A = this chain, B = another copy of it.
Amino acid sequence: MAGFDKVVLSYDEAMAGLDDGMTVIAGGFGLCGIPENLIAEIKRRQTKGLTVVSNNCGVDGFGLGILLEDKQIRKMVASYVGENALFEKQLLNGELEVDLTPQGTLAEKMRAGGAGIPAFYTATGVGTPVAEGKETRTFDGKEFLLEESITGDFAIVKGWKADRYGNVMYRHTAQNFNPLAATAGKITVVEVEEIVEVGELEPSQIHTPGIYVDRVIQGTFEKRIEKVTVRS
């Protein structure tokens, strides 16, 4: 079974092969379901000139935000980047390039990238700045934009449970972009809270089949909450 055993024991091993200038696709929505230790490992490695594809860019001091501190990100592809003063500064300085992509288009671009679909049409963004330089086309009397898919050299993913074969389940809304990112990496690394026995996950309930996953590592997570909101 050695061939299907995806478990690695160190974060160093988990991110082996990450080089300057690569594209990294990251799961997560805000700070929910982010691969926080894999991100920390990218910081430790000081890999530079990265293109990072993720719905958001973390916050100052946590999540993808920490990769801004040493200017490791050259270009960010995201739908919303408003939580983060350093991001703002680097953007205004011209140190950081940003490609703002509608959230649903971003999700579909990752899925399409993983599914071997190079491009698709969507009504999202027609007539807006997002449409600039993109082809439009009419189907059934309605106008649509051509959007190209995204793949990455690495995908970094946060799961809940995984088995050694790389079958993954996500917990609650920490699912978000994670299963899409998982399909779109040349090398897909998943960090999880718990590694379970092969056969423990019900086959029909697996969110990410192991075929997409190259490495699995068990971590411990801070799970910082961006906006704690409780009812009284």
Contact = CB atoms under 8 A, between A and B. Distances in A.
18 contacts: A108-B115, A112-B120, A116-B122, A116-B123, A117-B120, A118-B121, A118-B140, A118-B144, A119-B137, A119-B139, A119-B144, A120-B121, A139-B148, A169-B204, A170-B204, A172-B203, A175-B204, A204-B207
B204 A171 contact: yes
A93 interface: no
Contacts of A117: 108, 120-122
Interface residues of A, number: 26
Contacts of A120: 112, 117, 119-121
Interface of A: 108, 112, 115-123, 137, 139-140, 142, 144, 148, 169-172, 175, 203-205, 207
Given A139-B148, A148-B139, A204 B172 contact: yes
Per assembly, the copies of the chain total 2
Main secondary structure of the interface of A (DSSP, over half): mixed
Contacts of A205: 205
